[in-house]
Each structure stands twice: as C-alpha cells, then as structure tokens.
Structure 1
Amino acid sequence: MQTALDLTVMLPQSAYDYGERSSGEAHGVVLTKPHVVSLILDLAGYTEDRDLASLSLLEPACGHGAFLVPAAERLIASARRHGRDARDIESAIRSYDVARDHVDRARLAVAGALARLGLPLDDARRLSEAWVAHGDFLLTGQGRRFDAVVGNPPYIRIEQLSPELQEEYRQRYSSLYDRADLYVAFIERGLDLLAPGGVLSFICADRWTLNRYGAPLRRMLSRWYQVRCYIDLHSASPFESEVVAYPSIFAVSRGKTGSVPVATLSTASPEECEAASSALRRAEGRAEGRAEGRAEGGAPERCPGVTVAEYPSWFDGDDPWVLSSPEHLEALRSLEARFSPIEEVGGTRVGIGVATGSDRIFIVRGDVDIERDRLVPLVMRDDIEDGRIRDAGRFVINTFGDDGKVVRLDAYPRLAAYLRAHEAEIRKRYIAQKSAASWFRTIDRVHPELASAPKLLIPDIAGSNEVVHEEGRFHPHHNLYFITSEGWDLEALGGLLSSRVALFFVWSYAVKMRGGYLRFQAQYLRRIRLPAPESVAEDVKRDLRSAFRRRDFEGLDALALRAYDIDALPRFSFLDTRR
C-alpha cells in the first residue's frame, strides 16, 4: 500500500484545476467571480457580523485564493469588530491544494490582502502559511471539524487519474460511483467534516444532481443532510472565463431537508448575486419560522434578475433533482404515478449502438478485402437527416462469433491480414492492453441480429427528440440509441416518442448542453413513461403512425395528449430542430 504522500505525487500538477479535460491536458485555473464568492460565503453563514474567530472555515482546493482572500477580509473585519487579535485567528481558516504553485500563489494573495488591511507583514505571512497547506485534501487526515466549508472543487473525471490513485479514492469515498467526477468526493469529504450547525456551500458542475454517477451522493444527502438552498446558474456566467461545465451553487448542513428555496440567476451579475443572497436568507427565515410555528409559507418570490421558487418537499433517496419549477415537478410526478417506465411496457428495450475503440480501423467500406460474413451494415448519426436514413455504404467489422466469443483469426485469413496491418494502432487501445489475447476485438460486441431487427433510432445529442424508424437493415453506431418493442407497433411508438410528452420526460432529467441541445442517453430515455399499448385507442395508434410518417409534430403532440389522457403540459423550452 502506497502512502498518501506517494499517491499525491502521482497527480498531475494541475489535476485540481476547474475544467473538463478532453485530451489529457488540463485547462488553467478558472476563477470564480468575486461577487459569486461573496454569495457563497453568505450562504455558508461566514459573515463579518459573526465572531468568525470562534469559527473554522475550510477551503479544500484553494487554487489562486479566489475564496481565501475575501474570507480572510471578512475574518479581519469580524476580528476588529469583536476585539480579537492575530493570535485568535491563526486556526480560523484551513485550505489545501495539491499543486505547489497554487499554494504559493494563494499564500502570496492572502498575505497581500492582510497587509493591505493593516496587519504587520510578519503576521500576514505567518497567517497565510498557517492557513494554506500543500497536500491532497482527499487523502489528508483532519483532527477537527469546520463551521463553513466553501469553494469550487476540482472538476476532473476519476478515470483520468492514475489507477493507483483511483483505487485509493474509491476505497475511501463511497460516492465515487461509475465514471464520477472528482468533485463528488470533495462534496462527500466536506460534508463529513461539518461541525454541528456547520454549512457546506459549493459552486460546481451540476451533473451529479441528475446523472447516474451522482446517485450515491444524492442518497447520502437525502438520508443525513439538509439542503438549505440551491441556485441554478445554467444561463449565468459565474467564472472569470468560459468553461464547459454547467454550474450550480448549493448550501447543505446536517439535518433533515424540509422546504427548499431554489433560485435561478440569469447572469450572476453583482446585483443578481446580492439579490439572491437576500432572497434566499429571507426564504430560509420563513422556513425556520414555519418549523417553529411562527409563520406561514409564502408564494414564489421575484427579485431583480433573480427568480426564487420554494419547493415544499425535496427528493427522496437517489432520485434525480428535477429543478425547473414546482409546477413542472408536480406534472412530472403525476405522469410518473400513472404510467410505467418504457422498459416495463410492451416488451420494449432501450440500448446503445456499438463502440469500436477505433472507428478509423473498424468501420470500413464495402470494397474492403475482408470476409463478407465479418461485415455488418452500419448506420451513424451523420446518415440521418429529416427523419430518413441514407445508406452511406459503411460496415462495422464483427470480431465476435455467434457464441459471443472472439473469433479465431486463423479461420479468417483476410480479416487477419487486415487487422495485423493495423495491429500497432489497435493494441494502443485500453481494451487491447487489458486483454492481450483478444487484442483485435471491438469494445462492444457486434450483434448481426440487431441489424436485421426493426427498431427506432435516436441520436445522442440533439435539439429535440429526433426519432427515426429503421426497418431492419443496419446496426447502429454508438452515437445512436435504439429502441425495440414486442408489444408496440414501432411507428405508433415512434410517434409517441417524437411528441412533446416524451420530450418532457427526457428534458426533465437530461443534461442540458450549450445552445439548447440535450443528451438523449439511455439513462434518460429509460425515464420516459408509456401507456400500455392496449390502453391506447386503435384510431389514436393509427393516427400516430400516419403523423409519424409525415413528420407532423404538431399532430403528434395532440395525439400524445390523448394517449396519456392529459389536457396540457407545463411550458418548457427546448431547441426544436425537428421542424
């Protein structure tokens, strides 16, 4: 077993920088805007009217000191107000960073701020060195708990770290499930270190609130913690530079969640942040008053540039946090109470197409010199337009036999010659290194029977539910999801799945992307609820088929309302690329 020090050294210098890495190179530090930091400190209760010298603040990944400097300024103002001196505040702040240069910059920034506030230079340096430590927060033991845990935790996929570090983190943090981002472990560790009455207030990517990998963390919060407030920043700009993440701010303490105020900021300007801080504190006061029998709940409240809605109850267990409006959530829960998930209706199945690990090698044209029974016709996202499939003459190489095992290359000499001509590149793939004997296999198994099965195809990233009927000629690529069904007429089902009702389910749960696009992944498609085929009138199914063939989306929307026996849906916005 390696030591924590050894494991820390394995991290790349900028592994804790905020930002998603796509090619192994980390982006630089992305700083949170000062007025957003001020809002987060307010939500954590770290305000200068309190005796902050008697409290403890933790910043687990300090970067260049975007949170530390304003926290230190508040601490000094509080100390002067309450008659404290430098000795009283030496243990009031603790922060970490795994990158040595970040630690040096954060200490310099803090010392400079303290000096500007009039502290002697020696005191300023001593405090900055006491407050900022070089180390991996996730592997560092703590002999104390904290009244405020604040910050912008690192955003990096767990699989981008060394296998040794991944294993160590996963052993320590139960929230690191599936392909989780590292900020999930920072949230878990920060929560565990909260003192009684303490508050964690973070800004970070919001994918964990909806995605599968966030389920253990949501379950942990539901069981042991109180969500005090949540701020949606999808349309806002809380950072000094653009990032690919969709951030949110949340404040959590120990206890049981009751009603929760949820704010939406349009720009995250200084004025909006100040308004949100005031509105959320008033909402928290109302909630405490109701709990003590002193006040009644109020209607959703509006402030300049900020909308605040109060959710009377929160989400149970690992349920995704569907946060658009209470009215939207009520409609969603009503539909989910009346109808079953798509894969529990009519023998319906949701799946994803084949991933090869090297499309340049494993996707070929029909004139390639390979045995014909090793080639399966393939359809890709680019082959679909206006609801029709264009045969681009592509094939995927099938490296598996009917028994599900990898084929023997000596039985297919032309396939063997083709693969060995590309062997060096094929062996670079992770799956080839993992299983040297089957170095030439595709990541996923190709199923020729799927190619010949009628199915519905849905592109992964789209502005709307672009559903296409494929009569049984092609195997889907991994940028397409497919749906088969034993009990549904596929064109009638395609009509339902092309409607706003089906989109309502996906839109509620899916990750929203820049430009209004949605991810139509299997985990979201499986959230769609369907009526049983036999419960839908034959004339409605007939009209669904007809409207689906004509791509009459307005007609499909009206027919879906009849099939689900509802009058209307709450308004929700999406980028409709179908029309």
Structure 2
Amino acid sequence: MDLPTHFGPDAYQYGKRTSGETHGVVLTKPHIVDLILDLAGYTRDRRLHELRLLDPAVGTGAFLLRAVHRLMYVANREGLRPSELGAALTSFDIDPSHVEAARAHVRAALKEHGVSVKVAARLADQWVRPGDFLLTPLAPFDVVVGNPPYIRIEQLSQRLQAEYRRRYASLFDRADLYVAFIERGLDLLKPEGRLSFICADRWILNRYGAPLRRKLTEQFRVHAYVDLHRASPFESEVIAYPSIFAISQGRSERVAVASMARATPDECDALRGHLLGAHPVTSPGVSVSTYDSWFQGDEPWVLSTPEHLEALRALEARFRPIEEGSSTRVRIGVATGSDKVFIVPADADIEADRLVPLVKREDIQEGAIQDARRCVINTFTQEGRLVDLKRYPRLARYLKANEETLQRRHVAQNNKAGWYRTIDRVYPELVQRPKLLIPDIAGSNEVVFEAGHYHPHHNLYFITSEDWDLEVLGGLLGSKVALFFIWAYAVKMRGGYLRFQAQYLRRICLPSPTELPRKLSDALRKAFRQRDFARLDELAHVAYGLKSLPAFDFVDTRR
C-alpha cells in the first residue's frame, strides 16, 4: 500500500536544490534548460501535445515554463485549444510555497499566449502538483527533465529514510537523494521516452552510485554526457559539480562525452549543433569525445577521453590494486563528531592514558610534520567498550563540562548512554606504526612519511604495510603515475583540486615490491626523502615500464 504523498512536518523540502542552499530554489539558466529539453527530444518540430512531460522537482518552474512555451507554440501551430492540453505536462514539489510560485508563473506564461484566466488557472493546477514524487503512483512519461534535489539520505527523518530505501535500490550506503530521482525517472519512461537531468556528478564515480550505474548499464542507453565542472549553469553561484545526461531505454552504443568551459549560450548552441545535427564543434570552450563502448556493471564511469581510459585500463591489466593480495591497507583517520571538545592540548587536565597524540592536515608543511602538541581524547577501552568515567575523574569533569555540546551530536542522539563517545574509535596502538599520510583534498598527491608518533585525524588518509618499505611505496604514490589513477577516478573539485578518498586510493595499481630492482627501490626512497618529484616521476615510469602517459590537467601542490 502506498504511503500518502506528503509525510507531514518531518518531510524533507525538495527546495533544497544544491549544497550551500538551505532555503529557496537554485534556478537553472534558461539556455541550459533549453539544451536539456532538446537533448530529451522535447523540441518544437514534434507533436508535443501528444507527449507527456514530467518535471519531478519543479521548484518555481524553471524547466516547466520553458516547456510551456514550446507546448503552446505547437498547440497554436496545430490549431488546438489550450483546454485540451491538461495531460501534456506534470510536475511535483513537496514545498507548498514552491507549488504556488510555479503555478503563478505558469498562469503568467499562459497569459502571454492569450489563454483566458480561467483556463490558465485550471492548467496551472493540473500541471503543478503538491506531493512527493518518490511516493506518488504515476503512469509512464515520454520525457522526464529537471534538476533533482541534492541532499544526503541521512539528513532525512528515520521514517522517510526507511521508506525511500525500501522502494529504491539505488539508495545505497550514504547516497544522495538525487539517485532515487534518477532511478524513478528512468523507471517511468515509456519505451521510446528519454530522461535528461542536470545533476551533481558524484554518483558516476562514488561507491554509493554503484547500484544506479549497474541499473543504467544493464537496462538503459546513455546518449550524451556533458561535464559542467568549470561552468556556471545556475542563476546563483553554488558548489554543485553538475553534469547533464540524456538517457533512454536500450543498451549504450556510441556515447558522446562533452564538456563546456562556461556553458554560455554560444557554447550551448555549438554543443547542440554537434550532438543533434552532427555539425562540427565551432566553440573553443566545447570539447567532445566519442566512446565507442560504454562501461560494464557498476564500474565507475571514467569520463575524460578514450585515450585516457585506454591508458588506465592497460595499467590495470598489468598491475594489482594497492590492497590486493598484500598486507597494505588504506584507511581514514579518526572522526570525533566534535573536534572542539575531543581535540585538546597535550597538557590538558585529563588522565594521560586517555590522551593520544594527533596529527592534522595543517600540521604537514613541505613534507614534514610540525608537532602541534595536540591530542585526541580516547573514550574507549582496549576491548572497544566505552571507558567508565568513574575511573577517570578528570576526564569525567571535562566531559561533563561539555555534555550539552556532545549530547546534540547525531551519534549521541542514537545512543544516549554513549553520549561521550567519538564517532570513530581511537586506536592508541596505531600511533607507533609507521605510516604514509595523504591529505583528503589537494591538487595532487601530497604523500608524507610518519615514522610512528601520531594518530591521524579524519582529514588525513593513511597507509600501512608489512610488504613495502614505506618510503619506497611513498615514492611511487607521490609520482604522477599514481596521481593518474586518482585523477581518473576521483571527483574533480573547483580549482582543479581532487578528493583523495580511500575508495580512490584503493584504485591505484602497483608493481610488486619484490619485483622492483634494489637499485630502483633505493632511488625511489632517496627521491622521496628529498621531495624530488621530477625524479620520482621518472623512476615511476621505469617501475611501471612506461614510455609516457597521456597528459592530464592537475594542480601540482607537491612540495
């Protein structure tokens, strides 16, 4: 039995469209909307009155209004009365204020086409519906377009999370809600229908996008994918890392993968002419590659150029991932849930055996660690249970003084008895282990050797190994060859920066440490200690048996 289309006061408001926006709607620029409608096949040369178009998160109507004008043009050409168009358009929003705003904009648009006030009001009410698109029963559509909401699933109420996860297999791990919008939009397509969204691109590479990628590769056809990382497709400035994609039922064949530098009207026109009219690309801000075959299963979509993908696949065929068949492990440092409480000076008035030396990203300067004399509080016993505060009166006094702050955390809300726990467990024994440290966000691979004095903070990833001399491994991981793996798989951020998350670091493939000649290992170790990155790049090419790699853009922050 279907739940009501509105969950009540705990329901999430779909107006939260992109990161950085907590109220209102981020509007997509009109010429971007027009490109998306064109890629979806909603063009004026078709009998649009015979098609059904859906915008699942209408906001104030950016997509719907452009569709209305196209529909009315066709209706006038075909001699149709506006009152006959009630079934042509459908849109949803869960925010009543957005519904009313979109309806008002529709009424105004219809007035421009000479539609009577009464008919315009009736059509606006039909075309813009209040309710939750993800929970409302619907018949199939010919066209699905829009800008789905961007919000992490764990930010919703527990009740709503459970229902969404029950219905949508794509809501895997810490998925963003937009993946459920993509899944349902695809499932609502008619056999010849097409979906075209502008959407954050995290799902094409991240772990949480795996189920959606599998569904797409097995059941649907990708027609075009447009990277807008460098562009500004929205009316306001937001950090969203968007892309545009057009998908239909079938199996992917030749796929056009494009990018636009600024997504100006001229660039959109040039791209449209190439994708839909096979015209040569005339704008220097537009680049297009053609993939003759698409990806399989749930593997990440590595979308740069076919040349880059060929080089990546060749390396992956010859070498093994960093964790495969070895003791080498990639992990992330400790997350506390309240750094201002749990990270304290080394001389804090807390029992010494509860304080663990900590290294943070900002402690690393030019490849060396500056001891900031800070510690993380360890609230766990060696067996993994929370410590008994009665045995630690100074720790108890400190935590009690900060109890209000700690109780407000999500981890405490779910575990009242464990209100003073850190999100992650602290492992004091990790301090003594030599390790490689890698910052989470950087322009390039800033790998640092840590001899065994600190526990890493969660803004650092760390690598331990029994198989490798860590300085030799650090030399390989600090090279452009290792960076090529990260660059291929990682999410690209504004300014050319990359996320060095564990899921991407684990994609790095390496030669066997036992097969590296001793002279080469010694040279790698020496270059790593000297931070001689030009030499590391040369030595890595020798270790991998490479003559060259395809050029790729990155911000070289290695130092």
TM-score, normalization: structure 2? 0.97
Q: Partners of 1:86 and 1:7 in 2: how far apart?
A: 34
SS in 2 for 1:138: coil
| Aligned partners of 1:342 and 1:529 also within 8 Å | yes
Taking structure 1 as reference, are residues 312 and 448 closer, same or farther at Cα in structure 2, changes over 3 Å only? same
Deviation at 1:104, TM superposition (A): 1.3
From 163, 181, 185, the counterpart of 1:186: 181
| Aligned partners of 2:201 and 2:242 also within 8 Å | yes
Deviates more, 1:201-210 or 1:111-120: 111-120
SS in 1 for 2:244: strand
SS in 1 for 2:62: coil
From 446, 456, 481, the counterpart of 2:461: 481
Q: Partners of 2:376 and 2:168 in 1: how far apart?
A: 40
Residue deviations 1:306-351, cap 9 Å, x none?
2111000111111111111110111111111111110015421000
1:33 partner letter: K
Asked if 1:384 corresponds to 2:364, the answer is yes
From 49, 74, 77, the counterpart of 2:73: 77
Equivalent residue, structure 1, for 2:4: 4
Equivalent residue, structure 1, for 2:392: 412
Q: Partners of 2:398 and 2:210 in 1: how far apart?
A: 44
Asked if 1:249 corresponds to 2:209, the answer is no
Deviation at 1:232, TM superposition (A): 0.8
From 89, 94, 111, the counterpart of 2:85: 89
Asked if 1:442 corresponds to 2:422, the answer is yes
Deviation at 1:2, TM superposition (A): 9.8
Deviation at 1:427, TM superposition (A): 1.9
1:228 partner letter: H
Deviation at 1:422, TM superposition (A): 2.1
Deviates more, 1:427-436 or 1:355-364: 427-436
| Aligned partners of 1:8 and 1:98 also within 8 Å | no
Deviation at 1:164, TM superposition (A): 1.3
Q: Partners of 2:71 and 2:431 in 1: how far apart?
A: 65
Taking structure 1 as reference, are residues 116 and 276 closer, same or farther at Cα in structure 2, changes over 3 Å only? same
Runs of 4+ in 1 over 6 A off after TM superposition: none
Q: Partners of 1:419 and 1:106 in 2: how far apart?
A: 50
Aligned residues: CA RMSD: 1.6
From 250, 259, 263, the counterpart of 2:254: 259
Equivalent residue, structure 2, for 1:516: 496
1:7 partner letter: F
Equivalent residue, structure 1, for 2:22: 26
SS in 1 for 2:144: strand
Unaligned runs of 5+ in 1: 286-300
Asked if 1:49 corresponds to 2:45, the answer is yes
Residue deviations 1:201-260, cap 9 Å, x none?
000111111111111111110111111111111111111111110000000001111110
Deviation at 1:178, TM superposition (A): 1.4
Deviation at 1:438, TM superposition (A): 2.5
Equivalent residue, structure 2, for 1:17: 16
Taking structure 1 as reference, are residues 9 and 259 closer, same or farther at Cα in structure 2, changes over 3 Å only? same
Question: What are the residue-to-residue correspondences of 1:499-538 with 2, within 5 Å?
Answer: 499-538=479-518
Deviates more, 1:82-91 or 1:126-135: 82-91
Asked if 1:136 corresponds to 2:139, the answer is no
Residue deviations 1:59-109, cap 9 Å, x none?
111111111111011111112223332243210111111111111111111
Equivalent residue, structure 2, for 1:238: 233
From 327, 331, 346, the counterpart of 2:307: 327
Residue deviations 1:244-283, cap 9 Å, x none?
1000000000111111011111111111111111211245
| Aligned partners of 2:154 and 2:161 also within 8 Å | yes
2:38 partner letter: D
Equivalent residue, structure 1, for 2:355: 375
Q: Partners of 2:418 and 2:52 in 1: how far apart?
A: 55
Deviation at 1:425, TM superposition (A): 2.0
Asked if 1:198 corresponds to 2:193, the answer is yes
1:210 partner letter: L
| Aligned partners of 2:18 and 2:26 also within 8 Å | yes
Residue deviations 1:438-497, cap 9 Å, x none?
222211111111100000000111111000000001010111110011111000000000
Asked if 1:211 corresponds to 2:206, the answer is yes
From 503, 516, 522, the counterpart of 1:542: 522
Taking structure 1 as reference, are residues 438 and 473 closer, same or farther at Cα in structure 2, changes over 3 Å only? same
Unaligned runs of 5+ in 2: none
| Aligned partners of 1:228 and 1:261 also within 8 Å | yes
Asked if 1:430 corresponds to 2:407, the answer is no
| Aligned partners of 1:219 and 1:318 also within 8 Å | yes
Q: Partners of 2:128 and 2:274 in 1: how far apart?
A: 33
Residue deviations 1:364-398, cap 9 Å, x none?
11222222111111111111000000111111111
1:520 partner letter: F
Deviation at 1:410, TM superposition (A): 2.1
Q: Partners of 2:126 and 2:404 in 1: how far apart?
A: 52
Q: Partners of 2:212 and 2:454 in 1: how far apart?
A: 39
Asked if 1:302 corresponds to 2:301, the answer is no
Q: Partners of 1:466 and 1:382 in 2: how far apart?
A: 13
Identical-residue share of aligned pairs (%): 61
Q: Partners of 2:491 and 2:473 in 1: how far apart?
A: 24
From 351, 373, 384, the counterpart of 2:331: 351
TM-score, normalization: structure 1? 0.94
| Aligned partners of 2:435 and 2:451 also within 8 Å | yes
Question: What are the residue-to-residue correspondences of 1:57-136 with 2, within 5 Å?
Answer: 57-136=53-132
